[in-house]
Amino acid sequence: MTPGLINANPVVHAKKERERLVRPEDTNSNDFDALDIYDSVRDIRDPEHPYSLEQLSVLSEESVTVDEKLGRILITFTPTVQHCSMAAVIGLCLRVKLMRNFPAHYKVDIYVAPGSHAFEASVNKQLNDKERVAAALENPNLLQLVDECLASNDL
Amino acid sequence: MQSENNLDESLQLREVQELEGHTDTVWAVAWNPVTGIGGAPSMLASCSGDKTVRIWENTPTPNTTSSSWACKAVLEETHTRTVRSCAWSPNGKLLATASFDATTAIWENVGGEFECIASLEGHENEVKSVSWSASGMLLATCGRDKSVWIWEVQPGNEFECVSVLQGHTQDVKMVQWHPTRDILVSASYDNSIKVWAEDGDGDDWACMQTLGSSISGHTSTVWAMSFNSSGDRMVSCSDDLTLMVWDTSINPAERSGNGCGPWKHLCTISGYHDRTIFSVHWSRGGLIASGASDDCIRLFSESTDDSATPQVDGPSYKLILKKEKAHSMDVNSVQWHPSEPQLLASASDDGRIKIWEVTRINGLANNH
């Protein structure tokens, strides 16, 4: 056991085979679906562990839904423990990844899965307060942590 | 022939000009209150995630009767983070800007050049809103540290903090002074609005009232509020997808020492917004504008149609215009021009500011 970790012994799953090629990172086309979004976020590294969000089952293909007509993307993730204090950081990583890879006019809503967090309502409120998100992204330490989680595509 | 009500419903919002310059989210716009009168060109300030404030002016196009908006000044290299809010003093000479860098800057307009004459420090972290009192003698700021600060303007461009108001349990999103009285309201992430005034002794400030869920208030973050011109009503907007209209008591017995009675929930305007409402502003002519995360601008007015439904529950407000895709991203701020009632400015995450004109679709009237 490593002391100080929120969840010292997470359950790690095997990486899933990719069902299709990953979309190029720099395309900004409107032509994408939920699987494209999932492909872009599945390899984000957990802030605490050297594993991807997919390997820790924080995310699965069912986590992402897209409403093209309304221009909305909804991501629901499942923290590994009920008291995960990293939920805000994970939410920030997801939001930044989408900001960088998908058209800016899409509305992104990020929630923890129902029943997956002890403070579900307050976590959801914080994850979707755009003023708090904007302030957090101006925090150099937090931004560095987010960048590190996003950079590790080769776990 | 059209009835008066039909005329109301035939308003449209015409885009006058799109102002480009900011390179990030535009969080707020503020009209200079003494411009646009007696030949003085209209002036607008905007503030942004790009850490700058821009001053825009409406100037006549030479040899024509038309005019256009242009950026006259960029206020930069003072704030080191997002500038979240800006507000002109009532005489239009000073501009206050509140920033995530924990400071509020005061700028003086000296012949078109803006000089930073003071920096108000004290908040622990992000300052989110700033507002001048009607007299111009008081300034209020609020922020992430859950506090509201009241500053007194002293001779020689000195600003002294006279009170630090604790009471909100979460970050305070906005402060707004009453249009005529020294009464301050604040809106918070804790879902409540608080009303502040000097206590009976007149030596400190106190919370007079909390407009929260216990009196049918908002059920999520309150982002903004605005008074009507007479100051006897207030409208608030929230992440709970509603606007709420609040009314001061007309019963003199309920009035407190400061002459303003308690606020009561008058009505809720729901069912029109399906994403967070970030901004609401009440025009002097009685139109309520809202700006929301669905990229739309909406206009509401008090319903005068009492033939259809009896007004058993008191006044109600109806949607009279919905401008789809007003911007390509969230609308963060809507502000009516102080003296030209048909002009509206809006600001968006798309980095743009737009000037709008309310006109009648049939072209009959531009002069309501």
Does A7 fall in a domain? Answer: no
Residue B58, both tokens: 């409406």
Q: Out of B260-264, B294-298, B346-350, which region has the weakest mean confidence (pLDDT)?
A: B260-264
Is there a domain that residue A38 lies in? yes
Which domain does A66 fall in, by range? Answer: 30-150
pTM of the model as a whole:
0.91
Q: What is the token pair recorded at B195?
A: 């009303």
Specify the pLDDT at position B366: 47
| For residues B220-229, average pLDDT | 97
What residues does B12 pair with on adjacent strands? B359
Does residue A23 have a pLDDT over 60? no
Which chain A residues touch B84 with a CB distance below 8 Å?
131
Answer yes or no: are the C-beta atoms of B101 and B120 closer than 8 Å: no
Looking at this protein, which amino acid is placed at residue B100? F
Least confident of A4-8, A90-94, A108-112, B175-179: A4-8
Look at A100 and B63; give whichever has higher pLDDT. Answer: A100
| Contact list, B171 vs chain A (CB under 8 Å) | 132
Residue A2 lies in a domain: no
User: What is the chain B residue with the closest CA to A139?
Assistant: B81
Q: What is the pLDDT of residue A94?
A: 98
State the pLDDT confidence band at B312, using cuts at 50, 70 and 90.
low
Q: What is the CATH number of the domain that holds A143?
A: 3.30.300.130
Q: What is the pLDDT of residue B367?
A: 45
- Determine, yes or no, domain membership for A12: no
- Calculate the CA B348 to chain-centre distance: 15
| Domain assignment present for A18 | no
The distance between the two most distant Cα atoms of chain B, rounded to a whole number of Å, is: 61
Question: What residues in chain B have their Cβ under 8 A from chain A's Cβ atoms?
Answer: 25, 49, 81-82, 84, 100, 126, 128, 144, 171, 173, 189, 220-221, 239, 275-276, 293-295, 328-330, 349-350
Average pLDDT over residues A36-51: 94
Q: With an 8 Å Cβ cutoff, are A105 and B144 in contact? A: no
CA closest to B127 among chain A residues: A135
Q: CA-CA distance, B259 to B1, in Å (whole number)?
A: 46
Q: Show residues of chain A in contact with B221, CB under 8 Å.
A: 125, 129
Asked if residue B368 belongs to a domain, the reply is: no
pLDDT band per the 50, 70, 90 thresholds, residue B250: low
Higher-pLDDT residue of B160, A32: B160
> What pLDDT sits at residue A78?
96
**Quick check: A131 and B293 CB within 8 A?**
no
Q: Is the pLDDT of residue A138 over 90?
A: yes
Which pLDDT belongs to residue B306?
56
DSSP-assigned states of every residue in A81-141: STT-TTHHHHHHHHHHHHHHHS-TTSEEEEEEPTTS-TTHHHHHHHHT-HHHHHHHTT-HH
In the predicted structure, residue A30 carries a pLDDT above the cut 80: no
A105 contact residues in B (CB cutoff 8 A): 295, 328-329, 350
Mean pLDDT value across residues A28-56: 89
CA A97/CA A117 separation, integer angstroms = 23
- For chain A, what is the domain count? 1
In this structure, the strands spanning A107-112 and A72-77 are parallel
Domain membership of residue A133 (yes or no) is yes
In angstroms, rounded to a whole number, what is the distance separating the alpha carbons of residues B46 and B57? 11
To the nearest whole Å, the CA of B268 is away from the closest chain A CA by 22
* Structural domain boundaries, residue B287: 11-304+313-360
* pLDDT greater at residue A15 or residue B283: B283
From CA A25, how far away is CA B269, in angstroms rounded? 43
Residue pLDDT, tens place only, B146-190: 999 999 999 988 999 999 999 999 999 999 999 999 999 999 999
Q: Is residue B108 part of a domain?
A: yes
Q: Which residues from B are below 8 Å from A130, CB to CB?
A: 276, 293, 330
Q: CB distance A107–B328 less than 8 Å?
A: no
Burial class of residue B66 (count of CB atoms within 10 Å of its CB; 0-12, 13-18, 19+): exposed
Interface test with B, best of A107, A123, A130, A131 (most B CBs within 10 A): A131
Q: Is residue A16 part of a domain?
A: no
Nearest CA in chain B to A132: B144
**How many C-beta atoms surround the C-beta of residue B295 within 10 A?**
22
CB spacing of B128 vs A131 below 8 angstroms: yes
Number of structural domains (chain B) is: 1
Inter-chain contact A134–B49, Cβ cutoff 8 Å? yes
The answer to whether residue A131 neighbours chain B at the CB level (below 8 Å) is: yes
CA dist B349 and A93 (Å) reads 20
Please tell me the predicted confidence (pLDDT) of residue A4.
64
- Do the domain assignments include residue A79? yes
Q: Give the integer Cα–Cα distance in Å for A106 and B293.
A: 11
Whole-number pLDDT of residue A3: 53
Q: Which residue in A94, A87, A98, A35 sits closest to A61, CA to CA? A: A35
**pLDDT value for B199:** 84
Whose CA is closest to B69, among B52, B39, B34, B44? B44
Q: What is the model's pLDDT at position B194?
A: 98
pLDDT at A74: 97
Structural domain includes residue B212: yes
- The CA distance from B149 to the nearest CA of chain A, in Å, is 20
Q: Which residues of B touch A133 (CB under 8 A)?
A: none
- How sure is the predictor about B7, in pLDDT bands with cuts at 50, 70 and 90? very low
Cα(B364)–Cα(A50) distance, integer angstroms: 68
pLDDT exceeds cutoff 80 at B5: no
Position B53 scores a pLDDT of: 98
- Nearest-Cα distance to chain B for A148, in Å, is 22
Confidence band (pLDDT; 50, 70, 90) for A26?
very low
**What stretches of B144-262 adopt beta strand conformation (E)?**
148-154, 158-165, 172-177, 184-188, 193-198, 205-211, 222-227, 233-238, 243-248
- Compute the average pLDDT of residues B99-103: 98
Residue B368 has pLDDT above 60, yes or no: no
In whole numbers, what is the pLDDT of chain B averaged over residues? 91
The answer to the question of residue B5 being in a domain is no
CATH number at residue B60: 2.130.10.10
B196 contacts B207 by C-beta, under 8 angstroms: yes
